Structure 1
């Protein structure tokens, strides 16, 4: 099942995305995340009972982040070996973690501006995990049982702010630097998140292409590892890292940082396409 959050007549509504179109559903994303399988079964019943006349093309909706208010947004850096190499870092022995905030989130089709005085805005196509159950010290074997679904993410990064100090936070968590969407694909439709094609496009040109099977730390491991130290709750988001092809990885003389008027697209296999405009 594909679930989105949309603005309809200035109100936020839960939307079910089907092959025949999109329509508003009863309840909220927060409620569905809290109720888990029971909530999903009710939504499936709504799909079966829906009248064709209620459905609208996806393009008619203003899409919001599919999880509008997650409790936590935890991101993983340096999780693909080629990306580590292009950035001239060392292969990490433990996941490199940092965070973003709710104010960082924007949905599909949003326009994002470089923060403050930054002049080095970069893209990072990523798979994002949406947690569906409270996870505390879970095993790697059981980790995926705690997942609600998956979505596309773009870990936009202001590189000059990111490396201004040893802490990455400023260049990663500024307003608008966490586009996600366009919707969540529930976990039952993604049997193996550790084997998904991932692509990133800049103005229609392919700039990133890899597979999540190239991650240093798998989805299962990341959930298990993080839950040892930080309790994960339904709706929490995990950005799992980006493959090679970012601007920072290019020769300094060839780097062309993102500028107003550009368009970015992230396409993880089976999860639709997330589009972001640079303003």
Structure 2
């Protein structure tokens, strides 16, 4: 099931995507939760029931008539791993950046979250705004000390992400958090594709374009640490909650490696096989 949060007629609600329509969950089940985070927390039985109700339904509104919003705007955590693709680690090494010997984690503060087609703002205080195409994971079940073998069972779904980064701020601090957390630098969506629809999250084509020029292209199989290893590692430290977001790393040809940073007017599109795409225009930060 593809779970979307959207605005239509001035009202924001959640629904399920079917073809080119979105159906409000309340039309499928009057007792359905009001947030995607709560739907995922309710577990596979609810998702299966909603999926059955969606089959053959004729209600809903055209996707073209709605505004898609960030599916989970109120996540408690947004965690991201650095240099987690072999080709990206290699380009970093060529630039003289030390490749970490272990999983390298940082926070994207949740105030960075924005919608799949919303503008992303170039900060007044940064001259090195960069893009990073990433597969996003959303946790579906509260968990701690998850084994690698059990990790798939706590995943609620997947989404398309762009880990927008202010490189000058990233490298001015011993941690990456400041450079990764500017407002609007966490576009996500276009919806949450539930885990039951993704046969193998490590076999998806991931691509990024800037102004129609393809910059990044890789399979999610290029990760150094796979999703299950990532969840295992994080859960040794903290309790993961339904709705927590994980960005699983980017591939080669980020802007800093090409000497091409984002500027106002640029249009950045990220697409992942089976999950849809997000597309964001860079704009000057509002005064």
TM-score for the superposition, normalised by structure 1 = 0.93
Q: Could you tell me how far apart the structure 1 residues matched to 2:143 and 2:201 are? A: 18
> Which residue does the alignment assign to 1:239?
247
Aligned-residue Cα RMSD (Å) equals: 1.4
- CA drift of 1:11 comes to 2.7
Distance 1:105 1:46 in 2: 31
Give the gaps of 5 or more residues in structure 2.
27-32
Asked if structure 2 preserves the Cα contact closer than 8 Å seen for 1:25 and 1:46, the reply is: no
- Please state how far the C-alpha of 1:12 moved relative to its aligned partner: 2.1
2:235 is matched with 227
The alpha-carbon deviation at position 170 of structure 1 amounts to: 1.3
Q: Which residue of 2 aligns with 1:92?
A: 100
The alpha-carbon deviation at position 21 of structure 1 amounts to 1.6
Structure 1: segments with no counterpart, 5+ residues: none
CA contact (8 A) 1:98 1:168 kept: yes
User: Quick check: 2:79–2:245 contact (8 Å CA) kept in 1?
Assistant: yes
Give the match for residue 18 of structure 2.
Answer: 18
Q: 1:65 aligns with which of 63, 70, 95?
A: 70
| Equivalence for 1:30 | 37
Q: TM-score, normalised by structure 2?
A: 0.91
Q: Which residue of 2 aligns with 1:40?
A: 47
Distance (Å, rounded) in 2 between the aligned partners of 1:108 and 1:257: 20
Instruction: Indicate conservation of the 8 Å contact 2:136/2:246, yes or no.
Output: yes
2:271 aligned residue: 267
1:257 aligns with 2:265: no
Q: Give how far 1:163 is off.
A: 1.1
Q: Is the 8 A contact 1:81 1:91 kept in 2?
A: no
Per-residue deviation, 1:59: 2.5
Count of equivalent residues: 273
